[in-house]
Amino acid sequence: MPTSWVDMKVGRETMEGYLTQPEAAGRHPAIVVVQEIWGVNSHIQSVTDRLPSQGYVGLAPAMFHREGRMTLGLHEEMQTALAWMGKCTDANIVADVRAAVEYLKAQPSVLPGRIGIVGFCFGGRVSYLAACNVADLKASVVFYGGRILQPLGGSGPSPLEQTAKIASPVLGLFGAEDQNPTTADVAKIEAELKKHGKAHEFHMYPGCGHGFHCDGRASYRAEAARDAWAKTLAWFNQHLKG
């Protein structure tokens, strides 16, 4: 499985990304993997590493590249990571995802019309926001995306308020004990998707809180993580390979 760090242009900025590709020749569907608030760390790399064996190109863009190259934090450095996230704006987030998608579309190993996105925590919010604003995405997966009900970096519309623009089917995976998003938040998000007739499928995991998929955190719940990842692959297989 070939892996490499690559550079992508976002306006005048350079954003690094972790790229994984199947060994088989030819073109493959691709998935953008969006980080938690600690950057493209070993966990996000390991998730991206899973994709080539399933027939996908994976790309994890470094969404905090404006803080400096290879901006990474430990799980214990919560306040530092929250500060990085607090400097993000929704406009820059959309620009970063678009840059990652354009990079993938230009690769000879990628089927340019078959690109999806999955995000975790902060990245789950990014995945929802991208589904509203990046037309080239054909499937989106949201793992416990917090703050979908609020904008970042200004007073513009929240991702929730942009739901009517969603053009790709959305899979949502949430913990019943999570406080961000709460079960009430998830209900509001699903109600908005239903209101606008958007294709979606939501799953709530009892006994799980935020970050249940990350095996490097105390919040990890192995059974729920395995089930949620299986649902993620089935979603992409349906919408990117079907």
Q: Kindly list the catalytic residues.
A: 121, 178, 210
Instruction: Please report, for residues 17, 101, 157, the alpha-carbon distance to residue 48 in angstroms, rounded to integers and kept in the order given.
Output: 11, 15, 30
Of the candidates 154, 199, 208, the residue with the CA atom closest to the CA atom of residue 181: 208
Give the C-alpha separation, 227 to 239, whole Å. Answer: 18
- d(C-alpha 161, C-alpha 51), whole Å: 31
Which residues fall within 8 angstroms of residue 33, CB to CB, at 6 or more apart?
A: 44, 47, 48, 51, 58, 59, 60, 117, 118, 119, 123
Pair type for strands 13-20 and 3-10: antiparallel
Contact 158, 188 (CB under 8 A): no
Rounded to 5°, angle at Cα 189 from 36 and 91: 55
Structure tokens at 197: 């007739």
